[in-house]
Homo-oligomer: A and B are copies of this chain.
Amino acid sequence: MEKAYHSIGELAEATDTKVETVRYYERIGILPAPKRTSGNYRAYSAGHLARLSFIRRARDLGFTLDQVRALLALADQKKQDCGTVDALAREHLADIDRKISDLKALRRELSGLIGQCKQGTIADCRILSALSPR
């Protein structure tokens, strides 16, 4: 038999989340408020655990919390087709690709600068002179 309810600490540990973050998710309304014990402790059901796991996996994949909200809403429309989900995921993939190419451009520029430095004095440093207006 599974334990029916979990404390916030257990939920946090099971999903590799900080306790404060779990409370934060409740505050912003992405994780529903659970029942309370007589001592006013939060008592989470298996449903909460599943939802928090979902949130965390999606966050680990880089979805924003708003996107996660959208994904969670879609997940409940079981018989609709998943085109919207896929579109969301593809959009996010495009975001990632954009970030990667931006970072690569940055990397090229910065490593070019570093390569030019001859390790002399500050006055001659190519890195600093590239940053200063001519």
| A residues adjacent to B (C-beta < 8 A) | 49-50, 53-54, 57-58, 61-62, 71, 74-75, 77-83, 85-86, 89-90, 92-93, 96-97, 99-100, 103-104, 106-107, 109-111, 113-114, 117, 119-125, 127-128, 130-133
Contact = CB atoms under 8 A, between A and B. Distances in A.
A-B complex: 6 closest residue pairs judged by Cβ atoms: A82-B125, A53-B133, A78-B123, A57-B131, A100-B103, A96-B107
B93 A61 contact: no
B90 A114 contact: yes
A52 to B, nearest CB: 9
Contacts of A114: 86, 89-90, 93
B109 A61 contact: yes
A124 B77 CA distance: 11
A69 to B, nearest CB: 13
Nearest to A124: B82
A121 B89 CA distance: 15
A85 B54 contact: no
